[in-house]
């Protein structure tokens, strides 16, 4: 057992053996490391002012992940190199990203600038070359600039991302890789005592045993929900068990009939895998939070939080996914829709945790569509999210699985609508009407700050019509941005 976390900071190994389990990375940076270049804006993962980069090993490569330091807990950076705005310039020479921002007048208030530069620094190492507008928008969607500075920021991004990703970090790749590897070990981490601790087990059995022994501890995956309990609800976490170092939970298995995603697989890693199941899942995932949220947030966290407006659950329910759970040495599998019992209540016993999810690929003659409706295109939670898996035989619907988020207290299937749709002729929209009307019997949505009940009901009907119109092969325009052709993967 290791009693400290270890990471690289300012080019040197750093070891910390005592910290509060709920201290955020941003608090540590600004208050303890006096690294005040990283700013605090919203403190809830939205504005990107606090963006820093975690460099991690990936085989022979170093990968660069932008993360929101405000909601990431300090204990989660074990094993990484932490790069902040202060790391970029060296001996009076700006990093190419910084120089491009200066050249194009991309910095005005300067408060959002460190975060924007760090997002672009991650993109400098990760984004495809040559860049296109979409890739740059994807890289910057988690960084707000409120003084209308986006055009010069985009200009700076286009300019610097047209260069090859060569900087002093790529030049020192080999030595930094070696330093990161030297941090790796096989030991679990516990900081604190039985009453108050941050634990980060290394193996699945160790994790299962620890969660069973401390059923009241907070299970921590990417912290993109849990972090907000700390910063917004001011709820100090007494006992934290982090999943991030358990390799078995980060597994992805892509089979010919189905895909298995470990609970700890990040949303960023899941994106291309899900996109290979269906292009609409790629479009959905690209609008999931921001690059920062996707780099930390996990598939398991998005399911386990039981949110009625989580984006993955409706899509995966419609695809017929099954959830894998474990308590102690016992494992079980259940249909994903059965996991969501009621608002805030899931079929998960104390001491039990999610280990992964199996997602079947749609069979031949089965079509999938999913649509996220939110007030903003980027980084916004859904008002309504609809997902449709429709099988067709001889021009008629032979089977349907339909699920919505934002329409009930849990993500839920539209069972009456599914039944009413079977037998409907795809080519005859009048035949669909019974199903469209059945949506009213399936859902009685509520009004809240995101949308009114009336709006939600109308949108749900429209989404079903849109899915059927597209599947029927109609030439009517249904989207602003065309569906990506199957098999073509866009930028993460
Ligand atoms: C700025 C911002 C934008 C966001 N945008 C979106 C969005 O577009 N769509 C969307 O759906 N969500 C969004 N979210 C919510 C959040 O990012 C997702 O729900 C994310 O998938 C949560 O995963 P996580 O790994 O960060 O979970 P955590 O925050 O670590 O945990 C979430 C909950 O799940 C529990 N948990 C985590 N893993 C397990 C496990 N394996 N077994 C049992 N319990 C577990 C935790 O105890 C906690 O209760 C957003 C959040 C932020 C801050
Ligand atoms: S301070 Fe706004 S995202 Fe962290
Ligand atoms: S430059 Fe900071 S808000 Fe625009």
Atom nearest to 71 CA in ligand 2: 4
Distance (angstroms) between ligand 2 centre and the Cα of 45 equals 5
Label residue 197 by pLDDT band (50, 70, 90).
very high
Helix H, strand E, coil C: the string for 276-314 is HHCHHHHHHHHCCCCHHHHHHCEHHHHHHCCCCCCCHHH
For residue 70 and ligand 2, the question of a CB distance below 6 A is answered with: yes
Quick one: angle between helices 113-126 and 96-103, nearest 10? 120
Mutate to test the pocket of ligand 3, among 146, 152, 154, 157 (most ligand atoms within 8 A of CB): 146
pTM above 0.85, yes or no: yes
Given a contact cutoff of 8 angstroms between Cβ atoms, the answer to whether 152 and 105 are in contact is yes
Going from the Cα of 67 to the center of ligand 1, the distance in angstroms, rounded, reads 14
Ligand 3 neighbourhood includes 107 CB (under 6 angstroms) = yes
Per-residue pLDDT, 491 = 56
Give the pLDDT score at 378: 87
CA distance 158 to 245: 35
What's the average model confidence in pLDDT over 371-390?
94
Q: Strand 196-200 and strand 218-220: pairing? A: unpaired
Residue 37 near residue 114, CB atoms below 8 Å? yes
Tell which residue, 36, 39, 35, has the closest CA to residue 10. Answer: 35
Q: Note whether 479 and 275 are within 8 A (CB).
A: no
Residue with the bigger pLDDT between 272 and 110: it is 272
- Which residue's CA is the nearest one to ligand 2's atom 3? 45
pLDDT in tens, 454-489: 999 999 999 999 999 999 998 888 887 778 776 665
Classify 403 in phi/psi space as left (phi over 0), alpha (psi -120 to 50) or beta: beta
35-59 residue pLDDT tens: 999 999 999 999 999 999 999 999 8
CB hemisphere CA count around 55 (13 angstroms): 28
Please tell me if the CB atom of residue 73 comes closer than 6 angstroms to any atom of ligand 2: no
User: What average pLDDT does range 409-428 have in this prediction?
Assistant: 97
CA angle (137 as vertex; 304, 84 as ends), nearest 5: 75
Q: What is the CA(175)–ligand 1 centre distance, in A?
A: 34
DSSP state letter for 24: B
Whole-number pLDDT of residue 96: 97
How high is the pLDDT of residue 148?
67
Averaged pLDDT for residues 285-293: 96
Structure tokens at 309: 């407006």
**pLDDT band at 267; cut points 50, 70, 90:** very high
pLDDT at position 149 is: 79
Atom of ligand 3 nearest to the CA of 153: 1
Residues 6+ apart with CB under 8 A from 343: 308, 409, 410
Longest Cα–Cα distance in the chain: 71
From 108, 152, 153, mutation site for ligand 3 pocket: most ligand atoms within 8 A of C-beta: 108
111 lines ligand 3 (CB under 6 A): yes
Residue 235 Cβ < 6 Å to ligand 3: no
Q: 147 pLDDT band (50/70/90 cuts)?
A: confident
Instruction: Return the pLDDT at 477.
Output: 86
Span 81-100, pLDDT tens digits: 999 999 999 999 999 999 99
Q: State whether the beta carbon of 302 lies less than 6 angstroms from ligand 1.
A: yes
Q: CA-to-CA distance for 396 and 424, rounded, in angstroms? A: 5
Q: What stretches of 278-410 adopt beta strand conformation (E)?
A: 322-327, 330-335, 340-342, 345-346, 352-360, 366-373, 384-393, 396-405
Tell whether ligand 3 has an atom less than 6 A from the beta carbon of residue 112: yes
pLDDT band with cut points at 50, 70 and 90 for residue 156: very high
Say how many Å lie between the CA of residue 301 and the centre of ligand 3: 32
Please tell me the distance between residue 117's alpha carbon and the centre of ligand 1 in angstroms: 26
Q: Which atom of ligand 3 is nearest to the CA of 108?
A: 1
267 Cα to the center of ligand 1, angstroms: 10
Asked whether the beta carbons of 139 and 157 are under 8 A apart, the reply is: yes
270-285 pLDDT tens trace: 999 999 999 999 999 9
Report residue 165 as tokens.
């990703």
How far does the centroid of ligand 2 lie from the alpha carbon of residue 112, in Å?
10
Per-residue pLDDT at 490 exceeds 90: no
Query: For 332-362, how does the pLDDT look when each residue is reduced to its tens digit (9 = 90+)?
Result: 999 999 999 999 999 999 999 999 999 999 9
* pLDDT for residue 489: 59
Helix (H, G, I), strand (E, B) or coil at 187: coil
Domains and CATH numbers, the chain: 96-166 (1.10.150.120), 189-242 (3.30.43.10), 247-360 (3.30.465.10), 366-471 (3.30.390.50)
Q: Which two tokens stand for residue 58?
A: 């990936």
Q: Dihedral of CA 429/433/434/435: which sign? A: positive
**CB neighbours of 488 closer than 8 A, spacing ≥ 6?**
279
Q: Indicate if ligand 1 lies below 6 Å from the C-beta of 303.
A: no
93 forms bridges with which residues in the sheet?
A: 90
Residue 119, ligand 1, Cβ within 6 A: no
Neighbour tally for 314: CB within 10 Å: 33
Greater pLDDT, 148 or 216: 216
Give the pLDDT confidence score for residue 50 in this predicted structure.
Answer: 98
Distance, CA of 270 to CA of 275 (rounded, Å)? 8
Ligand 1 centroid to 300 CA: how many Å? 8
């Amino acid at each position: 057992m290791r009693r400290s976390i270890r990471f690289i900071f300012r080019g040197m190994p750093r070891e910390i053996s005592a910290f509060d389990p709920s201290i955020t990375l941003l608090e540590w940076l600004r208050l303890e490391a006096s690294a005040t270049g990283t700013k605090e804006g919203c403190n809830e993962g939205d504005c990107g002012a606090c963006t820093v980069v975690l460099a991690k090993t990936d085989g022979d490569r170093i990968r660069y992940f932008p993360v929101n330091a405000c909601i990431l807990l300090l204990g989660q950076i074990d094993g990484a190199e932490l790069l902040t705005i202060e790391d970029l310039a060296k001996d009076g020479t700006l990093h190419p990203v910084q120089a491009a921002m200066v050249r194009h007048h991309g910095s005005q208030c300067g408060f959002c600038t460190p975060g924007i530069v760090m997002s672009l620094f991650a993109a400098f190492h990760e984004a495809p070359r040559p860049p296109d507008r979409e890739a740059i928008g994807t890289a910057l969607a988690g960084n707000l600039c409120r003084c209308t500075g986006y055009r010069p920021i985009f200009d700076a991004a286009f300019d610097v991302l047209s260069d090859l990703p060569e900087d002093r970090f790529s030049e020192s790749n080999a030595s930094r890789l070696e330093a990161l590897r030297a941090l790796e070990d096989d030991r679990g981490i516990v900081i604190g005592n039985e009453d108050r601790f941050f634990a980060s087990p290394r193996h699945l059995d160790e994790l299962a045993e620890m969660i069973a022994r401390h059923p009241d501890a907070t299970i921590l995956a990417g912290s993109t929900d849990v972090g907000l309990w700390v910063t917004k609800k001011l709820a100090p976490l007494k006992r934290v068990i982090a999943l991030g170092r358990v390799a078995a939970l980060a597994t992805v298995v892509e089979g010919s009939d189905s895909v298995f995603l470990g609970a700890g697989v990040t949303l960023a890693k899941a994106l291309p895998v899900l996109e290979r199941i269906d292009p609409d899942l790629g479009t959905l995932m690209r609008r999931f939070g921001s690059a920062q949220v996707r780099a930390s947030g996990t598939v398991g966290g998005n399911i386990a939080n039981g949110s009625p407006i989580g984006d993955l659950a409706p899509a995966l329910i419609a695809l017929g996914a099954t959830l894998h759970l474990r308590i102690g040495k016992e494992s079980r599998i259940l249909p994903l829709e059965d996991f969501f019992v009621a608002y805030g209540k899931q079929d998960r016993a104390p001491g039990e945790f999610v280990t992964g999810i199996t997602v079947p690929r749609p069979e031949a003659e089965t079509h999938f569509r999913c649509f996220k409706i939110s007030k903003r295109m980027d980084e916004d939670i859904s008002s309504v999210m609809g997902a449709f898996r429709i099988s067709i035989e001889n021009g008629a619907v032979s089977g349907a699985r339909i699920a919505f988020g934002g329409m009930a207290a849990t993500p839920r299937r539209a069972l009456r609508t599914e039944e009413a749709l079977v037998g409907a002729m795809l080519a005859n929209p009048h035949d669909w009407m019974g199903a469209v009307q059945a949506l009213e019997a399936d859902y009685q949505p509520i009004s809240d700050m995101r949308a009114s009940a009336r709006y939600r009901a109308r949108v749900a009907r429209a989404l079903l019509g849109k899915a059927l119109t597209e599947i029927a092969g109609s030439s009517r325009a249904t989207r602003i941005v065309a569906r990506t052709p199957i098999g073509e993967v866009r930028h993460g």
